[in-house]
């Protein structure tokens, strides 16, 4: 099993460095969900590669959502992904 060499600066680019308050915790959960959703949709090829950019997290390159270039793709992507994110974000904010 390989270890993940993770630099705190890389981690802090994606996630809050300190989680001391409820709002910090909510921000962390939102970002963790977004990263998870990005990775799952990229690995399952739900959207084309131009919907993702690669960010370094330790020895891993994590695909993260970016805005698509074509207007048709942008509408499809926005209506699907952002409805998922909005639903989960509301649930997190309401402490479900």
**Dihedral angle, C-alpha 29, 34, 40, 41, nearest 10 °:** 160
Domains and CATH numbers, the chain: 10-93 (3.30.900.10)
Pair of tokens at residue 86: 């909005």
Average pLDDT, the chain: 79
How far apart are the C-alpha atoms of 22 and 95, rounded to whole Å?
A: 10
Q: What is the pTM of this model?
A: 0.68
Return the pLDDT at 43: 92
Distances (CA, A) of 72 to 50, 67, 76: 13, 12, 6
How far apart are the C-alpha atoms of 30 and 51, rounded to whole Å?
A: 19
Paired residues of 62 in beta bridges: 55
The 10s digit of each residue's pLDDT in 10-26 is 787 778 888 899 888 88
């Amino acid at each position: 099993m390989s270890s993940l060499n993770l630099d705190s600066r890389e981690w802090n680019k994606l996630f809050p460095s300190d989680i001391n308050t409820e709002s910090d915790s909510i921000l962390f959960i939102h970002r963790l969900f977004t990263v998870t959703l990005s990775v799952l949709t990229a690995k399952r090829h739900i959207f084309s590669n131009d919907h993702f950019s690669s960010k370094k997290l330790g020895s891993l390159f994590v695909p993260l959502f970016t805005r698509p270039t074509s207007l048709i793709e942008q509408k499809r992507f926005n209506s699907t992904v952002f409805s998922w994110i909005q639903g989960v974000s509301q649930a997190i904010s309401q402490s479900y």
